[in-house]
Chains A and B, each alone.
Chain A
């Protein structure tokens, strides 16, 4: 929520953010409805409060990036050495570092100017932000201009307050991927296919042939990555305008009405083209290719609240009631064409291609819309700051559910007791504050699919009727008319404390969440259903966890201050059940995650009574003299890989870390400040796809990791086909020195116009301590297949920055 309106972290420039608050527990988040079911991040942008003399602030920085850890593949010399050993590689004579050929050391700069000024009744904050960022891969860039203005006006003796806020953002970036019909995926500047081609290309091959043309070879899915990159050109133009305003009226003391209106419009125009020197023509005879696309999102929000707040004697009471309406519309358009008379047009004369006229090229458009409506009320009561009560209820409806189940009611209550205020505690002078909290809250979740409850049909697959290719009216999905809210019930207890004049402070929170009617892509029998999946409320998931936040100030004096913060969290989850009144499974599990071709196996098993994130597959325990895997069979005895059967599969680890730890340190010495952020995750496994696919010496047509010829289990070289075995599942434990910033504040006392001046240097992702062999153990943890370290994912980078902050 950005100033109370839903948005994303990209919406405002980081330099414009005043503060960020995180609400995690269900009882606090309940008032925000379904949007807050996974917690709420409250971003407050910089605003003026009261009278302030006009200031201008400038922040700027320059940064360079490097690949933190590059995958080490065989070099040309390695090839020639292995050929001598009898390996069937082809030596084309050269030595090319293909990854180097498609990457660079990117230099980026960012500038931010902000102005503030005004009086107690009218004030303005405005800012201007410019970024020009380069990407790691050749051509990739990102240019963005963001402008923001925030106007506050107070009238009628402060009884009526108005706020108007405008953010406009314009971003342009190079795109190396055809976005395709799907839209919203935004054609990316990173093309993983090009990256893969650079990894697997023969290192003895050359970028260009003797005539100076790109050197291509007619091998299966084997294209010159440099040519692919340099002969394609795409540009995405993103525009976002966010306009919101609010009116707050206090007709009488203690009573406040607030009306908030917001409109957000996002659009993206895309163009993408491949020249006649691109593989699409050189190999696939397309004779030039281009596509265009456009996507748009419009979000409207209205919120009206009435609040009555009153303090009398030691009582403080606040009552709030409100109504909120939100709708969101998306539109998309895409077209492609090929067989162009020239490369000169790029994607700017789509009509000159011939493929669309022949019916070969496709085009598409679509539009959808959802609405979310909520009524809510909140009571908060506090006696002498000692006993605190917060109770809320939200009645919320969404268009995404079946007609009888659109509305859900979500109550929450939390209690607080400031123990330190009790008289019996007054003797403890070392204790500044001690507060006990307990809460219960229910929040709801809506499905991603907008229309999962509807029985719909679309014209699509054609069939020849009377010599004409007629479009059939096909079912869109398995509809679920009973689709209803997923409800998450959360209990939490917590403790806030502050000791020894705030030298030590922190909090401890424990929670237990039960997700009921969890929305799943549930497997249904075919027949009677035409498709194997339906979106259904079918599972129960339990999460329990503990979070500890501890801040301390080991040293605090005039010239030297050291503050340190530790945060720790742990979570345990379990799938409690996997069925509902409408659907009952015979099996208490289903598989998730996918290796992709050519292995084509699931990576995870989700099973009742077990945690989410379990890897599932064959447990390798050795290798035989012929280089074939030896698997541990279901009875614990060794099985040759050729004789293995699916019954032998086992749980091989879990991709969700058991423990997270973070440690921040800030040291200030005179004018210097030093900040070090470190964090780590422990007790989890990662499936190393890069080794799974690239550490197998059998398919010699493509390059491989330089460890591919190492002895497996210290015995012999691998001579087996690609297979998902536990050999590729590694412990992922890591400790990262994430961010180190060193700054210097100039003494500005004698200067007339400059109030603050600071310079700093910073390193992001400075070092990783881990036993993991892949490029980065911090991998995807979302969804049902956490811990899969995708084969061709964007390499993790290390960033070095130098910057300046000036306030005038």
Chain B
């Protein structure tokens, strides 16, 4: 009897052993739907995926909800988000942006910080993989590294422009709490990085380098950095800017850059065909979402006009004072702003966008011209396929014109501005495209002052703005392209003039505060004044 018990016991033990086997104490996690780093062996064919992860963070940075576009435009004098009958107060965030009363808790700068640094970390990872040889890329190594460093510099350029003093992280593996660099140091890094890598960058444009940093995109970026050197460091660098612009203009014929005869072609759904675009952020309504500018600007009723698959939200619009600066013959007014009666394909009017906006605190749903620059195709979805134009050839010509203007070479500057204006007046009054030396000496035609129910009270005007006319030109050409805040700062207006219901609120508003949540986490950070 006793033996039999031993047999049962033994059998039971064996059953236990069989069930558990070697797995009885093994606890290595099994993954199925994610790839653990140890299991990755990079091959040259993985290069595209590594490049993709470095560039794709640009999409949320730019044209997505509370992206860079909103920071650059809604803190400036062209675009506002007034409260609407359906809301748009949102804790006062848009009103603080407009009135420059933001704190370190402001949402737009907070999300920008995180999105841009994701790009920095991803670019660092790509650089680290290629530099170390973990990702074999063959002969392309020098040009790829140079390209990724240019991309990383673009991320730092956004940080430098908006926050100034930021941590400079270039080592992917270093997880120590970062030190903060001064804006001057960030500037020096950017200039050196681009100059050091310029020779290795690819010179070709076209499909292969579309949406990526070739030499000309890097030079445009460098020109932009030099253009704003006075703001970033206190020392101007217009001659250096001019040099970069000249290099690009000289090569334009060979590479294939030119002003598109039709202004609108730069912003249409398939704008990748534009020969004017030097650097873009590619979006796609199926593969690469995040272009939501139309959703924020259109009233819900516009859904019927474009037979959209999503109901737009009805928020931001043009500042009436800015609209008043346009020449009626300037076709960019209609090419940039959606205005007047909006009709369905069947011809039924659903809403009439009027120029007037009551106030930042209260407005009717049809008040204010809407951003119509980016073509909204019939059947548009919640995200558009238009690529965001970061640098256009027109931008290079205008940067050159500004350098010449500031150097006193006004006639040459006037010729360049005229060149850019010609297509805007070609179908109306071609003669009006011409800008004279005298014109360029004028101030701004913007009626700066406080907006009170359609009356400008506390009038400041723009006549006193040095090179004000040139700033107006920048406004008309680049409205709703995320340029305006930077331009207003460079022309000394951002913290001195009143527009709509904005009053100056201190010179320190030229920089956004470092997000409070980052201040809380990193004791090395010192808040901007």
A residues within 8 Å of B by Cβ? 159-160, 218-221, 247, 249, 251-252, 257, 259, 261, 283-286, 302, 304, 323, 325, 358-360, 365-371, 373, 397-400, 403, 406-407, 450-451, 453-459, 461-476, 523-532, 585-587, 590, 597-601, 645-646, 699-701, 721-723
Contacts and interface: CB of A to CB of B under 8 A. Distances in A.
Nearest to A362: B286
A599 B92 CA distance: 9
A467 B207 contact: yes
B286 A360 contact: yes
Contact of A528 (B8, B103, B175, B308): B175
B85 A218 contact: no
A462 B103 CA distance: 34
Contacts of B25: 373, 397
A472 B87 contact: no
B207 A466 contact: yes
Contact of B178 (A160, A285, A525, A721): A525
Given A257-B12, A285-B307, A699-B85, A472 B49 contact: yes
Q: Which of B48, B57, B208, B518 has the most CB of A within 10 A?
A: B48
A325 B520 CA distance: 42
Nearest to A641: B92
The 3 A-B pairs with the shortest beta carbon distances in the complex, nearest first, are A472-B52, A472-B53, A251-B5
A251 B6 contact: yes
Interface residues of B, number: 96
B67 interface: no
Contacts of A457: 34-35, 37, 40
A600 B91 contact: yes
Contacts of A358: 286
B310 A284 contact: yes
A373 B35 contact: no
A598 B121 CA distance: 31
A767 B9 CA distance: 59
A368 B33 contact: yes
Nearest to B311: A283
Contact of B36 (A399, A455, A472): A455
Contact of B518 (A304, A473, A525): A525
A451 B29 CA distance: 8
Nearest to A591: B517
Given A464-B282, A646-B103, A699-B86, A451 B31 contact: yes
8 contacts: A251-B9, A284-B311, A367-B33, A368-B33, A400-B29, A464-B284, A532-B517, A721-B92
B133 interface: no
A558 to B, nearest CB: 53
B491 interface: no
Given A463-B282, A464-B282, A259 B28 contact: no
Interface of B: 2, 5-6, 8-9, 12, 15-16, 19-20, 23-25, 27-37, 40, 46, 48-57, 59, 83, 85-93, 103, 105, 107, 113-114, 117-118, 120-122, 125, 167, 169, 174-178, 207-208, 210-212, 282, 284, 286-288, 300-301, 303-304, 307-311, 313-314, 350, 379, 381, 517-523
Contacts of A723: 91
Nearest to B42: A473
A368 B32 CA distance: 6
Contacts of A368: 31-33
A287 B12 CA distance: 62
Q: Which of B27, B86, B103, B176 gathers the greatest number of chain A CB atoms within 10 Å? A: B27
Contact of B90 (A403, A527, A598): A598
Given A221-B86, A459-B49, 6 more contacts: A365-B33, A403-B28, A407-B27, A465-B48, A472-B55, A475-B122
A507 B313 CA distance: 59
Contacts of B15: 259
Contacts of A587: 520-521
Given A470-B52, A472-B52, A455 B37 contact: yes
A432 B211 CA distance: 85
Contacts of A261: 19
A701 B86 contact: yes
B85 A701 contact: yes
Given A257-B12, A465-B48, A325 B20 contact: yes
B11 to A, nearest CB: 10
B301 A218 contact: yes
A197 to B, nearest CB: 14
Contact of A473 (B50, B175, B523): B50
Contacts of B19: 261, 302, 325
A471 B52 CA distance: 7
Given A283-B311, A304-B16, A473-B50, A585 B520 contact: yes
Given A458-B35, A646-B105, A325 B24 contact: yes
B51 A465 contact: yes
B31 A456 contact: yes
Contact of B27 (A371, A454, A468): A371
Contacts of A367: 32-33
B34 A525 contact: no
Contacts of B23: 325
Nearest to B7: A251
B288 A722 contact: no
Contacts of B50: 472-473
Contacts of B103: 645-646
Nearest to B521: A525
A455 B519 CA distance: 26
Contacts of B37: 454-457
Given A463-B288, A471-B52, A699 B31 contact: no
Contacts of B20: 302, 323, 325
A740 B381 CA distance: 54
Nearest to B115: A526
Given A220-B314, A373-B24, A597 B90 contact: yes
B93 A600 contact: yes
Given A461-B56, A528-B178, A523 B8 contact: no
A159 B5 contact: yes
B307 A464 contact: no
B311 A586 contact: no
B300 A218 contact: yes
Contact of A463 (B117, B211, B308, B518): B211
A294 to B, nearest CB: 15
Contacts of B35: 456-458, 473
Contact of A523 (B52, B122, B282, B517): B517
Given A251-B8, A373-B25, A462-B288, A527 B117 contact: yes
A251 B174 CA distance: 61
A450 B50 CA distance: 26
Contacts of B2: 251
A722 to B, nearest CB: 7
A218 B350 contact: yes
A462 to B, nearest CB: 5
Contacts of B31: 368, 451, 454, 456
Contacts of B27: 371, 373, 397-399, 406-407
A646 B59 CA distance: 31
A600 B177 CA distance: 29
A540 B177 CA distance: 23
Contacts of A523: 517, 520-521
Contact of A530 (B52, B121, B210, B381): B121
Contacts of B56: 461-463, 472, 474
Given A399-B28, A464-B211, A524 B91 contact: no
Contact of A599 (B91, B381, B519): B91
Nearest to A463: B52
A692 to B, nearest CB: 12
Nearest to A160: B8
Contact of B300 (A220, A451, A585, A601): A220
B393 to A, nearest CB: 20
Contacts of B521: 523-525, 585-587
B36 A456 contact: yes
Nearest to A532: B114
